[in-house]
């Protein structure tokens, strides 16, 4: 490895968040193991490649560190963030990206596992799902918060909670509620505020959007086609005139002929010339572009229960050339004088999280943890993010660095090494 000294310095800083000196060697070894070019990165393969001549002892040591040791995930992730932020936060703008990722699982005993939507599979299946918050710029990104989503069946089952070691203070929370908690912690920790980006799974939640605004941040979030808004030139009616009896009316009104419309209906009512082709990013072989339009609207969700009209926002609509209907919809609290190109560029920055998860899973073994407990699930993820954080810092310090130049080299396994759990007659692994 070309920059082993820099990796040691980086890991030394992370070790300060562990609380005990005897945990430091395990953190360093685990992170270095996750950076090895090996196909499987659960505890035993890491132990086998880190210390081929004493696999069992190393396996026990790493397993205890990741599955049982009580160090703080948030403290280590904060240290990762402190290392990356000076390189990542720039004057050109940065973003807070909310997303979740799924891990297919068999059985029912792994913490949080349930039949739910799994993005990796693109369908409902048995899996675990974790919610993350990433700090991002055009140059790179790294997760700074990460938490398992605990379905209601799990959250309300004391027996399964106890077996999996779910902390007592962890109650059921929706994914948007988990994300809001992560955002508030980031604000509290002094992370420089950025534009909040996320998909329709979060953006369609009106309380989620309102909470971001209350935090003083701008958002650009996906919404579903059925989301209702007040089209340009329309608005809810003021409260009825007071008759002089009873309590004066205060709520906004709707009437036949003066009602909000779905964003899909609004998109289809616009003229073709309202849409323009916008290029938002250049890839290695082509430019990414599509047709867009942006109009000023007022969100309409349950405004008839309120006394004040919601502020106007940008509704961004993507309708690719040749498609029979619009593809995506977004709401953004970007300034009123923002251009279409600016709104598209900012909204499309959410692609960075896809690159994060792809590398975390394929290169750092994010989904390879084989334990079933809450602590191990989060410790493994934290260490994967820590290893990925170093790679991100190296890329930011040295633009153009080769993909694997920041990774250690693997050791050759002994000829007689047999993975734990293999048949007695199994061929040894080299």
What's residue 239's pLDDT? 82
**Residue 400: band (very low, low, confident or very high) from pLDDT cuts 50, 70, 90:** low
What's residue 422's pLDDT? 42
Mean pLDDT within 312-338: 96
Answer yes or no: is pLDDT of 401 > 70: no
**Residue 19: band (very low, low, confident or very high) from pLDDT cuts 50, 70, 90:** confident
Q: Confirm if 175 and 131 have CB atoms less than 8 A apart.
A: yes
Length of the chain: 430
What's residue 427's pLDDT? 39
The CA distance from 371 to 377, in Å, is 7
Q: Which residue has the higher pLDDT, 121 or 210?
A: 210
What's residue 319's pLDDT? 97
The angle formed by the CA atoms of residues 342, 345 and 348, to the nearest 5 degrees, is 145
Mean pLDDT within 25-48: 94
What's residue 410's pLDDT? 52
Structure token digits, residue 288: 């990414």
What pTM did the predictor assign?
A: 0.89
What's residue 183's pLDDT? 97
**Residue 424: band (very low, low, confident or very high) from pLDDT cuts 50, 70, 90:** very low
Supply the DSSP string of 2-40, one letter for each residue: TTHHHHHHHHHHHHTTSS-GGGHHHHHHHHHHHTSS-S-
Structure token digits, residue 127: 């899996």
Mean pLDDT within 102-123: 90
134-174 pLDDT, tens digit per residue, is 999 888 899 999 999 999 999 999 999 999 999 999 999 99
Average pLDDT over the chain, rounded to an integer: 89
Residue 47, Cβ neighbours under 10 Å: how many?
Answer: 24
The CA distance from 262 to 167, in Å, is 42
Supply the DSSP string of 296-307, one letter for each residue: EEEE-TTGGGSS
Which of 59-68, 104-113, 236-245, 315-324 has the least mean pLDDT? 236-245
* pLDDT over 70 percentage in the chain: 91
What's residue 121's pLDDT? 84
What's residue 185's pLDDT? 96
**Residue 416: band (very low, low, confident or very high) from pLDDT cuts 50, 70, 90:** low
What's residue 397's pLDDT? 87
Provide the CA 424 distance to its chain's centre, in angstroms: 42
**Residue 43: band (very low, low, confident or very high) from pLDDT cuts 50, 70, 90:** very high
Answer yes or no: is pLDDT of 198 > 50: yes
Q: Confirm if 150 and 167 have CB atoms less than 8 A apart.
A: no
Provide the CA 414 distance to its chain's centre, in angstroms: 39
DSSP label at residue 139: S
Supply the DSSP string of 196-221, one letter for each residue: EEE-HHHHT-HHHHHHHHHTT--EEE
DSSP label at residue 409: P
What's residue 426's pLDDT? 40
Q: Confirm if 320 and 291 have CB atoms less than 8 A apart.
A: yes
Q: Which residue has the higher pLDDT, 265 or 191?
A: 265
Mean pLDDT within 291-299: 97
What's residue 28's pLDDT? 96
The CA distance from 22 to 15, in Å, is 10
Mean pLDDT within 62-76: 96
Report the run of H or E that residue 329 belongs to, with start and end.
strand 328-332
* pLDDT over 90 percentage in the chain: 70
Beta carbons within 8 Å of 219's beta carbon, 6+ residues apart: 195, 196, 197, 198, 203, 209, 212, 213, 331, 332, 333
Supply the DSSP string of 218-286, one letter for each residue: -EEEEE-TT-EEEPTT--PBPPPPP-SSSSPP-S-B-BTTB--EEHHHHHHHS-GGG-EEEEEEE-SS-
242-274 pLDDT, tens digit per residue, is 777 777 777 788 888 888 999 999 999 999 999
The CA distance from 409 to 305, in Å, is 62
Q: Which residue has the higher pLDDT, 167 or 301?
A: 167
What's residue 425's pLDDT? 42
Answer yes or no: is pLDDT of 348 > 80: yes
Q: Confirm if 317 and 294 have CB atoms less than 8 A apart.
A: yes
Strand ranges inside 73-169, DSSP E: 95-104, 114-118, 123-136, 141-148
What's residue 418's pLDDT? 55
């Amino acid at each position: 490895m070309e920059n082993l000294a820099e990796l040691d310095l980086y890991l030394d800083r992370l070790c300060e968040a562990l609380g005990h000196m005897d945990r430091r060697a395990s953190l360093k070894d685990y992170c270095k193991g996750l950076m090895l070019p090996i196909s499987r990165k659960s505890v035993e393969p890491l132990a086998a490649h880190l210390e081929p001549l004493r696999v069992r002892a190393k396996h026990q040591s790493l397993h205890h560190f990741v599955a049982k040791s009580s160090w703080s995930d948030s403290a280590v992730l904060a240290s990762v963030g402190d290392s990356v932020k000076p390189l990542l936060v720039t004057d050109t703008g940065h973003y807070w990206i909310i997303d979740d990722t799924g891990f297919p699982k068999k059985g029912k005993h792994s913490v949080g596992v349930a039949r739910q939507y799994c993005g990796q599979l693109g369908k409902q299946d048995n899996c675990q799902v974790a919610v993350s918050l990433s700090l991002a710029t055009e140059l790179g990104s790294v997760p700074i918060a990460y938490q398992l989503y605990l379905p209601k069946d799990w959250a309300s089952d004391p027996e399964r909670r106890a077996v999996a070691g779910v902390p007592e203070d962890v109650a059921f929370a929706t994914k948007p509620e988990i994300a809001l908690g992560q955002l508030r912690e980031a604000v509290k920790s002094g992370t420089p505020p950025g534009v909040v980006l996320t998909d329709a799974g979060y953006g369609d939640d009106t309380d989620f959007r309102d909470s971001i605004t209350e935090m003083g941040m701008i958002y650009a979030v996906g919404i579903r086609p059925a989301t209702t808004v007040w089209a340009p030139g329309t608005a809810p009616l003021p409260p009825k005139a007071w008759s002089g009896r009873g309590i004066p009316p205060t709520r906004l009104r709707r009437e036949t002929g003066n009602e909000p419309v779905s964003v899909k209906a609004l998109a289809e009512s616009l003229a073709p010339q309202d849409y323009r082709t916008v290029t938002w990013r250049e890839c290695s072989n082509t430019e990414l572009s599509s047709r867009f339009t942006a109009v000023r609207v007022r969100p309409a969700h349950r405004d008839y229960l309120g006394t004040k009209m919601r502020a106007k926002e940008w509704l961004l609509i993507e309708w690719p050339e040749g498609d029979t209907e619009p593809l995506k919809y977004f709401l953004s609290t970007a300034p009123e004088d923002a251009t279409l190109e600016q709104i598209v560029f900012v909204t499309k920055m959410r692609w960075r999280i896809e690159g994060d998860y792809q590398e975390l899973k394929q290169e750092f073994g994010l989904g390879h943890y084989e334990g079933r407990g809450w602590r191990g699930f989060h410790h493994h993820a934290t260490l994967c993010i820590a290893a990925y954080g170093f790679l991100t810092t190296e890329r930011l310090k040295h633009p153009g660095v080769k993909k694997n130049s920041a990774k250690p080299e693997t050791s050759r396994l002994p000829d007689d090494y047999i993975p734990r759990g293999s048949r007695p007659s199994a061929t040894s692994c080299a």
